[in-house]
Amino acid sequence: MTTVGDIVDQANQLADTDEWDEAINLLTAANRRQRSDQIEIALTDIRHRSWSVLTGGRGPSDDPAAVSPPIGPSGLPETSVADLDGAGAWKAITEHGSLLVRRALDQAQIGQLIDAVDHSFAASNRPDAGTDGDAWFHPLAMDAATAERVGPAKLAFPRKFAKDAGGVLLVDSPRAMFALLELYEQLGLYEVVSNYVGGRPAISANKCTLRLVPLDAVGGWHQDGAFLGRDIKAINIWLTLSPCGVDAPGLDVIGHRLDDIIETGTGGAAYDWAVGDEVVDALGGVVRPQFEAGDMLLFDEMNLHRTAMAPGMTRPRYAIEFWCFSAARYPDNNIMLTW
């Protein structure tokens, strides 16, 4: 009888001979048959150790035949998940700064991911968190090559930043990561992202985050490119699992394309990393969409946005951020996994 331990051992043997895809496929198939903490933890580890071998490609390129979806009631380009494709997403983001995908998830899928967020938060807050083999919270251990490249404590800051802002890093919850990747593949998002980045996507361990955004969340305007660097050709699938923008914190975005990193720490900015309100007012085009549960906003590192707060909001927001890069242009200080 083949045990879970046998399957994990076999996957590691495949990895030892650089048969990384075979190892990923073996563990994925086994976990589909019966979910296992040990398998999900091993799968996240192998996705991390394999990324430099399996990801790659030419990098993204513009498709002259692509057409951006039309501007919707939100003031942003809008489409459905059924009509979403990488070329259209590229055109929308490079022309308008973002793309809103309405009702990408159904109620069952939303409920599954809310449950994953709740379980991950609960597991991360236990006294023995990360030490008991629970796949709801098992912090990623960097492989030796990555630790040497970025420093052994590189994940300490994003972990603390996420926790302080109401979040758990996705890679620290192997069970949630498995569920999310399975769902995104079913929705065709793997093809969208790989087409967008021009090859097999590299998932950011630093930035993919499960969120339960509190009412006192910090809402400074920022571009992720200010921290990651320019021209990395990233894409973020920002997913809300609850209605937001009216009585729960949503997202404010600039509804047009920005081609430069905007100065920070001036114009009334409350933080040195934030873009001040006076600077944003001069740019114009602020949009505060009203999101329904299951909506997605796709944007890249140049998009200027902030958590949208307002007096009278009464509920937190469940959400997931999912950042991917082209392996040809990933940020040097990021820790990556294979999708």
- Delimit the domains of the chain by residue range: 63-338
Mean pLDDT of 79-90: 96
Q: For 261, phi and psi rounded to 5 degrees?
A: -75, 125
Distance between CA atoms of 314 and 48, rounded to whole angstroms? 38
CA angle 246, 248, 249 (to 5 degrees): 100
3-class SS of residue 295: coil
Question: Does the pLDDT at position 29 exceed 90?
Answer: yes
| pLDDT band (50, 70, 90) for residue 62 | low
Q: What is the mean pLDDT of residues 69-92?
A: 97
**pLDDT bracket for residue 57 (50, 70, 90):** low
The share of the chain scoring above pLDDT 70, in percent, equals 98
The pLDDT of residue 58 is 62
DSSP string covering 238-294:
EEESS-BSSSS-EEEEESS---SPPP-S-TT-SSTTSBPHHHHHHH--EE---BPTT
Torsion sign (Cα): 133, 54, 32, 82: positive
Between 4-16 and 20-33, two packed helices, what is the crossing angle to 10 degrees? 160
User: What stretch of H or E contains 196?
Assistant: helix 189-197
Whether 209 contacts 339, CB under 8 Å: no
pLDDT value of position 232: 84
**CA angle (205, 80, 32) in 5-degree steps:** 50
Residue 65's pLDDT band (cuts 50, 70, 90): confident
Mean pLDDT computed over 59-88: 90
Structure tokens at 100: 């809103």
Complete edge-to-edge strand list for the sheet that includes strand 286-287? 222-223, 304-308, 250-254, 286-287
Please determine, for residue 45, whether its predicted confidence score (pLDDT) is greater than 70: yes
Confidence category of residue 61, pLDDT binned at 50, 70, 90: low
For residue 17, with 0-12 CB atoms within 10 Å meaning exposed, 13-18 middle and 19 or more buried, which class applies?
Answer: exposed
Better pLDDT: 333 or 108:
108
285 exposed, middle or buried (CB, 10 Å; 0-12, 13-18, 19+)?
middle
C-alpha distances out from residue 192 to 112, 131, 298, Å: 22, 36, 11
Q: Rounded to whole angstroms, how far apart are CA atoms 10 and 14?
A: 6
pLDDT > 90 fraction of the chain, expressed in percent and rounded? 87
Q: Give per-residue pLDDT as tens, 120-154.
A: 999 999 999 999 999 999 999 999 989 999 998 89
Label residue 52 by pLDDT band (50, 70, 90).
Answer: confident
Mean of the per-residue pLDDT values of the chain: 94
Q: What local confidence, expressed as pLDDT, does residue 330 receive?
A: 83
**pTM value?**
0.96
Whether the CB-CB separation of 39 and 73 falls below 8 Å is answered with no
Residue 237 CB burial class (10 angstroms; 0-12, 13-18, ≥19): buried
Q: Flag whether pLDDT at 93 surpasses 90.
A: yes
Lowest mean pLDDT, pick from 53-62, 229-238, 267-276: 53-62
- Structure confidence by residue, pLDDT tens digits, 262-302: 999 999 999 999 999 999 999 999 999 999 999 999 999 99
Query: Stretch 244-268: mean pLDDT, rounded?
Result: 97
Q: What CA–CA distance (Å, rounded) separates 241 from 234?
A: 22
Specify the CATH architecture of the domain 63-338. Sandwich (2.60)
Sign of CA dihedral 193, 195, 196, 198: positive
Q: How many angstroms separate the CA atoms of 266 and 264, rounded?
A: 6
